[in-house]
Structure 1
Amino acid sequence: MAPTPAKPAAGKPADKKVKTDKKKAQIRPRNQDLGNGIVRFSRTRMYHKKALWKFMGKKVDAPKKEVKGSTVEKQIGGDKNGKTRMVAIKKHRAFYPTLDKIKKRPAKGLFKRHKRAIRDTLTPGTVLIVLAGPHKGKRVVLLKQLYSGLLLITGPFKVNGCPLRRISQRYVIGTATKLDISGVQLPENINDEYFRRERKKRAKKEEGEIFAAKKEAYKASEQRKADQKVVDKAINEVIRKHPERKLLFGYLGTMWGLRSSQYPHRMKF
Structure 2
Amino acid sequence: MTRSFVATGGPKKAAKTVAAKGKSARMYPADDVAVAKASRKGTRAATKVRATITPGTVVILLSGRFRGKRAVCLKILDSGLLLVSGPYKVNGIPLKRVNQAYVIATSTKVDVSSVKVPATVNDSYFAQSKSNGTKSEEKFFDNERKAAVVSDQRKADQKSVDAALLKIVAKEPMLKQYLNAKFSLTKNDRPHNMKF
User: Which bracket does the TM-score occupy, shorter chain normalised?
Assistant: 0.7 to 0.9
Q: Secondary structure at the match of 2:60?
A: strand
Instruction: Answer yes or no: is the 8 Å Cα contact 2:88–2:162 preserved in 1.
Output: yes
Alpha-carbon distance change, 215 to 173 in structure 1, aligned in 2, over 3 angstroms: same
Aligned Cα root-mean-square deviation (Å)? 2.6
Matches within 5 A, 1:97-246: 103=36, 106-107=38-39, 109-110=40-41, 113-203=44-134, 205=136, 211-212=141-142, 214=144, 216-242=146-172, 244=173
Q: Is the 8 A contact 1:141 1:155 kept in 2?
A: yes
AA of the residue aligned to 1:145? I
**Could you say which structure has the higher helix fraction?**
2
| More off after superposition, 215-224 vs 180-189 | 215-224
Counterparts of 1:248-267 in structure 2 under 5 Å?
Answer: 248-267=175-194
Please, which runs of 5 or more residues in structure 2 have no aligned partner? Answer: 13-32
Find runs of 4+ consecutive structure 1 residues off by over 6 angstroms.
94-97
Unaligned runs of 5+ in 1: 1-70, 72-87
Conservation of the 8 A alpha-carbon contact between 1:141 and 1:153:
yes
Asked whether 1:92 is paired with 2:92, we answer no
- Taking structure 1 as the reference length, the TM-score comes to 0.58
Aligned positions of 1:32-47 closer than 5 A: none
| CA 1:112–1:229: 2 relative to 1, 3 Å | farther
SS of the equivalent of 1:158 reads helix
1:193-216 Cα distance to aligned partner (Å, 9 max, x none): 00011121243637x675357453
Change (3 A) 1:95 1:205: farther
Residue 111 of structure 1: how far off its partner (Å): 5.7
Change (3 A) 1:268 1:199: same
Code of the residue aligned with 2:186 in structure 1: it is R
- SS of equivalent to 1:144: strand
Query: In the superposition, relative to structure 1, how do residues 135 and 238 fare at CA in structure 2: closer, same or farther (>3 Å)?
Result: same
TM-score, reference length from structure 2: 0.78
Report the equivalent of 1:55: none
Question: Which of structures 1 and 2 has the bigger CA Rg?
Answer: 1
Cα distance change of structure 1 residues 209 and 116 upon mapping to structure 2, 3 Å threshold: closer
Q: Pick 1 or 2: higher relative contact order, CA cutoff 8 A, min separation 6.
A: 2
- C-alpha change, 1:211 and 1:159, in structure 2 (3 Å) is same
Aligned AA for 1:257? S
Q: Give the 3-state SS of the residue equivalent to 2:5 in structure 1.
A: coil
Q: Percent identity?
A: 41
For 2:159, the aligned partner's letter is K
> For the Cα contact (< 8 Å) 2:60–2:104, is it kept in 1?
yes
- Give me the whole-angstrom Cα distance separating, in 2, the residues matched to 1:239 and 1:210: 45
Contact between 1:112 and 1:148, CA under 8 Å: does it hold in 2? no
Distance 1:221 1:257, change over 3 A: same
The residue identity in structure 2 corresponding to 1:124 is P
